[in-house]
Structure 1
Amino acid sequence: MNVLDKSTILGFVLSMLSVGLFTSEISVETDPVKQVGHGPSKAFAKGADVSWLPQMEATGYKFYNDRGIEQDCFQILKDHGINTIRLRTWVNPSNDPVSGHCSKEETVAMAERAQKWGMRIMIDFHYSDSWADPGKQNKPAAWQGHDFPTLLTDLHDYTRDVMKALATKGISPEWVQIGNETPGGMIYPEGSTANWGQLVQLINKGYEAIKAVSPQSKVILHLDQGNNRERFRTWFDSAQVHGAKYDVIGLSYYPYWLPGNPDYTLSINDLGTNLNELVKRYGKEVMVVEVGGEDNKAQNTYDMLVAVQRKVRAVPNQKGLGVIYWEPEGARSWSKYGLSAWGENGRPTKAMDAFLID
């Protein structure tokens, strides 16, 4: 390659600017869609957890865009500003359409599909055979009866196997969660917060497995009630004292599930304050990895989503990474779940337009 002198470089730059090509090239190279699989992007993540999608399609559910035209759900999400897909993964799930599936193989297939649509990817390890959340953190059946050293190996090897299966398909998730909504810990009883030393050993085994396969993936630890500052401080203080390894603090924010079912306007400022305090206290990035509102109150859910995005964007130094809606496509007519962002007509509600706002 010839080395150009400064005058030649300056002339080239000026000529490209004159026809608008230089600016065009910059925009292509910094487009987050073009960066998938090539390291973290600085673009704000606007996401959707769509782990139900293949089961919905398998049962014949049809998705329609705003004009009533049938389309691939990914196209509809992309047209509403979604650039990130979150996928849960379960160890040995059943075939139940709502509370099963999400095996390693299905998760990899969905991640492949998401990447082909230009989406950034987050993997959510529940470390269970079905739902893990604040009310239940059930140990996978295959791990029952194992002593604690064996559980550490179970978690490490399972995490590594899923990550390697993704890597084989050319997928390097931008984010990976160790556990899902874990205020009381995970993999009960050994990994409960009644024994922080063991919980952190489990977390760190997951961290090691993730980083060994995909060093650039950011590891998330995730709690519910994102507006609850005391809940987060107590938990992450303990995680810090015991040496937990992670990169990002993940928060859920569902005003509907807060005591008394208050409107979001009564807790949104606490969410914003919590985000800022977490960054300052622990030096980590933050992200709302689950959010949702009532499907039959689309305007209110739209307003809430706009407000949440603004709070995350307002975190200093771009430490607020993004906002992910949990199962927006999971229409109540199929899932019986009332916090989707899809209507009875098979179309997205107005709530999804919130992700078009910058």
Structure 2
Amino acid sequence: MSPAKAASVRVEAISKRYGRVLALDVVSFDVEPGQFFALLGPNGAGKSTLVHILATILRPDGGRAQIEGHDVVREPVEARRRLGVVFQEPSLDDRLTVYENLDFHGMVYGVPRKLRRRRIEEMLDVVELADWRERFVRTLSSGMKRRLEIARTLIHDARVLILDEPTVGLDAQSRGRIWGYLERLRSERSLTVIVTTHYIEEVEGCDRVCIIDHGSILALDSPAGLKAAHGEAVLKVWPRDAEAETMIRDDFGAAAETPDGALLFKPATDAFVDRFLARHGARIQRMARSEPSLETVFLSLTGRELRDQAAAPRERTYAFGRRGGEHTR
């Protein structure tokens, strides 16, 4: 029997509190070498706090984390050498050109000049920015800046890539391109990739998905495993008016309510749908049934839909600054 591979990233009972707010509550998981691992949850769930701990910016109150065997608290320099990190907040220097941003990053990490130039050319080609090499960063679109940040993280010998909401604020086309680049980089460079997101559709292709909310892990499995264990068909109903909504709630209750005013019911079996229509069919504008999906998994575990929210102030506290990678508070 062959020995098990050592985890690329190990998180053991990590806890973090901001005053009375418990941001992370004894969080534990392993990420195996070469895995595409997603942390899925709404803003404020604790994802960014965990990323800042893994990136050695923030110290946990309890537990420990390792990057390829190096403790992020006791061996932060060694952990950083193996990490490439893209934070939610922009960290490029917009006074420099595309090439200068990459070159400066390589110098900071001590990458020899000849190797640094070769890697810059490789990464510019991968993220399709070769024609923009002499442009100042301030002239780039949001999507191009994100691609540049991803390229920059791989100029040095990073083995683990961590991206905190890498596609937030981007249009659908740019988001799709970012995920395409990530998949290509992972396969070509044998990277371990950890991504945080609140876009459910983005994690379908990940090896494992960790659903986190209020600082706690609710479920951890492959997308297929999560659907099999927690997925339920969900019925969405839009009542005709306030009176109809009251009558429906009094009769059936509701699992949750969506931002657009729909009532959610689960599990939405054929028998339930038939019974609902027989009693309240005339009181609804429309209805829709969703088969088991990661969205219904999240609803089943949390009782609410995953939707955009403002990031918690504490999750925005630590980030790389806009000027040359300085830490800001």
Look at both structures and tell me which one has the larger radius of gyration over its CA atoms.
2
**More helix per residue:** 1
**More strand per residue:** 2
Q: What TM-score, normalized by structure 1, do the two folds share?
A: 0.30
Q: What TM-score, normalized by structure 2, do the two folds share?
A: 0.32
